[in-house]
Amino acid sequence: MTTIPVRILHPRHGIHEPTGGTPARTAGSVRRTTTIDMLRPDGFDRPMHLVGHGRDLRTFGPGDDRRNIRVLGEATMFARVDFAAGRELREITSGPARPALAGLVGHSVASGFRARLDALDPTLIAENDLLHLLLDDLPGASLVSGHAYSAAAQDARDGPQAPGSDVPRTPPMRQGDYRYVTDLCAGFATGGTIMNEVEAFGRSPVVTGPVAPSLARPGDPLAWHDIPPLPPRGMRRARRVDVRLHDRGALAHVDALFRDSYVLPEGVETVIHEYTVTAEVDTTTSTFLSCEATPRALPFVECPAAAASATRLAGMPLAGLRPHVRRAFTGTSTCTHLNDTLRALEDIPALLAPLRAG
């Protein structure tokens, strides 16, 4: 049994009510699951590895009988990113292969990455929206991976490193390498926890999230695609989207989960960000009837208020959702991580297509 270490939580930490387990797959539904693991097998002074997997699974009937399920699609992605060099992409491969991705090497996976991806491979989203989701998530995942640096630096400040630790006492990056954009989102609000500590100490406070309950569903090995255990100081971005039709196919129900997690040096996984999202979609007009986000685990007290922004999707078409969210969901009423989750809902029609086809 893993011993959970005694931890000092930040006095202004956000909500700590992470989800445990995963809902049962229902007959007549499609489930999309994706993960991006952020790993540093060669240490903090070398480029990190981002390893992505995704699967679309259709469930025809109850249980895990293989006759009742069909894998609709699978995708993989591997990227090597130099975080300390402005998140420069050093290597990228994918399954299925997309030769155009080679044009991304040498560029940052931060600002401008998504526009460059769309320009290099304009048919990707239409031909493989599952792989597109993994690649579209690289900017967010690589940004969140900076938490491992911050946590390592905090550990070094708090006491001696563990014997054999490969974590440098000072991670190989300067404070100026971070971009603290005031009022970028709820968490970066003027006068909030993050900006106050940046002003006072020159660095962001370290997130002290709750212990992460397992997302596995006992008795259902197909609830998620195969997910390997994370090593100490590893991070993971996990997404799940369930869609099903009801009211004779006129409506679609959507249930989604998003989680970023980090493994402490002692091997205990903790949650950095987590939301669940539910939505109703009018399939005849392909518009949102409703959309609600519930914060489950967020860094600081200012963050949960951003969940209310999801309701603004009611009445919006699914087509063009990604650019709409990027354009309209800005400022302190929003959350960059929730925005990425909402943007991904543009893929709902693709997930519904096999259900509508029968």
pLDDT of residue 333: 96
Separation CA 143–CA 323 (nearest Å): 20
Q: pLDDT grade, residue 168 (50/70/90)?
A: very low
Of the listed ranges 122-131, 172-181, 183-192, 238-247, the least confidently predicted one is 172-181
Separation CA 25–CA 355 (nearest Å): 14
Q: Where are the beta strands (DSSP E) in 170-315?
A: 235-246, 251-263, 269-282, 287-297
Average pLDDT, the chain: 91
Q: What percent of the chain has pLDDT over 90?
A: 80
Q: pLDDT grade, residue 251 (50/70/90)?
A: very high
Q: pLDDT grade, residue 204 (50/70/90)?
A: confident
pTM (two decimals): 0.93
Contact between residue 134 and residue 77 where contact means Cβ atoms under 8 Å apart: yes
248 by Cβ neighbours in 10 Å (0-12 / 13-18 / 19+) ranks as exposed
